[in-house]
């Protein structure tokens, strides 16, 4: 693996992954929708190009054929906020993913690595439970699930290796979205009440630099047509994560459990297992949840 294309390269996960690949001596063509990057900074081995992958023909304008061996796909509109429920946008994302598989093959790549989500499993569980009424928040995961299914068939048909790492919950320095860790840390900073569900549902979180390292390991040593869960290797009930965060970041705070109703799907712990990732690629997480939360909180305070 010497030359890679990374889409969505200027996003939270994408930019950290670009930086990790560069640190390993890999040349990176970084593609994102912005005319200029916001997170990435110029450095040796990095080429940035503006490219909207919804128009996959643009890929052939910015990427030369026969140069790149691996295509890593993060570009996905509406991964946070209200757009997660926009089914037209999420279907558009899924179709763009399949078109990127085909483009990667035409460009000469032998491997296609896409960022999947643990929500794909939640979607399956919710859909196939009799009488279930999945909320609109599942639309994002449904888009990922559809992209996974169609990309796997297309990749097999055209002869390119598909690898599908599935992120549990990435967090850390540089994330601006209102997801769980960020929103809870902001409440701690602002001295707001810490109110949660009973938090008995199983969960996992993985720090952003570990996520980036995992994508490198999968791209380099993962087995074709395998999916790999990216997590901390220490999944457990959400309440235990909350208490670890509280002890690390707000030892005097009093988390309140049970004040918020839980309407999601509780997944069994074995879904979060990262044994295949560790055994096939040698990946080992290095940042504990408490340490990662402290780093993130320090950064949030710094940026105000």
Each residue's pLDDT tens digit, 165-221: 999 999 999 998 889 999 999 999 999 999 999 999 999 999 999 999 999 999 999
Residues in CB range of 89: below 8 A, 6 or more apart: 77, 78, 83
CB atoms within 10 A of CB 127: 14
Band of pLDDT at residue 160, cut at 50, 70 and 90:
very high
Compute the average pLDDT of residues 137-153.
96
DSSP assignment, residue 205? -
Band of pLDDT at residue 81, cut at 50, 70 and 90:
confident
Q: At residue 41, does pLDDT exceed 80?
A: yes
Q: How far is the C-alpha of 203 from the C-alpha of 209, rounded, in Å?
A: 19
Distances (CA, A) of 174 to 134, 168, 213, 250, 293: 31, 18, 16, 21, 12
Q: At residue 282, does pLDDT exceed 80?
A: yes
Identify any residues that bridge with 257 across adjacent strands, giving them in sequence order.
196
Q: At residue 230, does pLDDT exceed 90?
A: yes
**What are the residue boundaries of the structural domains of the chain, listed by start?**
3-167
Q: How far is the C-alpha of 209 from the C-alpha of 264, rounded, in Å?
A: 28
DSSP assignment, residue 121? H
Q: At residue 264, does pLDDT exceed 80?
A: no
Residues in CB range of 220: below 8 A, 6 or more apart: 1, 281
Quick one: which of 34, 27, 35, 36 has its CA closest to 6? 27
Distances (CA, A) of 114 to 6, 215, 217, 260: 10, 9, 13, 34
Instruction: Indicate the angle between helix axes 139-158 and 119-127, nearest 10 degrees.
Output: 110
Over the chain, what is the mean pLDDT?
96
The two counts, helices (H) then strands (E), for the chain are 10, 14
The pLDDT value given to residue 263: 75
Q: Which helix (H) or strand (E) holds 92?
A: helix 87-107
pTM, two decimals, is 0.96
Q: Which CATH class is domain 3-167?
A: alpha beta
* DSSP, residue by residue, 6-62: EETTTSHHHHHHHHHHHHTT-EEEEEESSSS-SS----TTEEEEE--TTSGGGHHHH
Share of the chain above pLDDT 90, in %: 90
Contact by Cβ (8 Å): 166, 172:
no
Q: How far is the C-alpha of 146 from the C-alpha of 176, rounded, in Å?
A: 27
Q: How far is the C-alpha of 174 from the C-alpha of 208, rounded, in Å?
A: 9
CB atoms within 10 A of CB 249: 18
The pLDDT value given to residue 13: 97
The pLDDT value given to residue 288: 97
Q: How far is the C-alpha of 225 from the C-alpha of 237, rounded, in Å?
A: 30
Tokens found for residue 57: 């023909």
């Amino acid at each position: 693996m010497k030359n890679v294309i990374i889409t969505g390269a200027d996003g939270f996960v994408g930019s950290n992954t670009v930086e990790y690949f560069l640190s390993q001596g890999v040349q990176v063509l970084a593609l994102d929708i912005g005319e200029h990057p916001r997170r990435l900074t110029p450095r040796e081995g990095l080429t940035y190009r503006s490219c909207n992958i919804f128009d996959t023909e643009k890929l052939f304008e910015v990427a030369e054929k026969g140069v790149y061996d691996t295509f890593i796909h993060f570009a996905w509109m509406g991964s946070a906020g209200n757009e997660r429920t926009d089914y037209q946008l999420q279907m558009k994302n899924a179709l763009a993913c399949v078109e990127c598989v085909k483009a990667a093959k035409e460009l000469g790549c032998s491997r296609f690595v896409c960022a999947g989500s643990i929500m794909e499993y939640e979607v399956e569980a919710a859909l196939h439970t009799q009488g279930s009424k999945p909320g609109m928040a599942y639309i994002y995961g449904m888009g990922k699930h559809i992209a996974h299914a169609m990309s796997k068939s297309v990749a097999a048909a055209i002869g390119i290796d598909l690898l599908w790492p599935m992120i549990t919950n990435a967090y850390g320095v540089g994330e601006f979205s209102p997801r769980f860790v960020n929103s809870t840390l902001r409440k701690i900073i602002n001295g707001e009440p810490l109110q949660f569900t009973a938090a008995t549902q199983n969960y996992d979180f993985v720090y952003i630099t570990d996520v980036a390292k995992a994508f490198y390991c999968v791209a380099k040593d993962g087995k074709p047509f395998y999916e790999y869960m990216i997590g901390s290797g220490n999944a457990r009930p959400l309440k235990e994560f909350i208490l670890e965060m509280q002890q690390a970041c707000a030892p005097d705070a009093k988390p309140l459990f049970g004040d918020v109703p839980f309407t999601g799907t509780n997944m069994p712990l074995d879904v979060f297992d990262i044994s295949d990732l560790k055994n096939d690629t040698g990946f080992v997480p290095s940042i504990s949840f408490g340490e990662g939360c402290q780093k993130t909180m320090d950064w949030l305070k710094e940026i105000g």
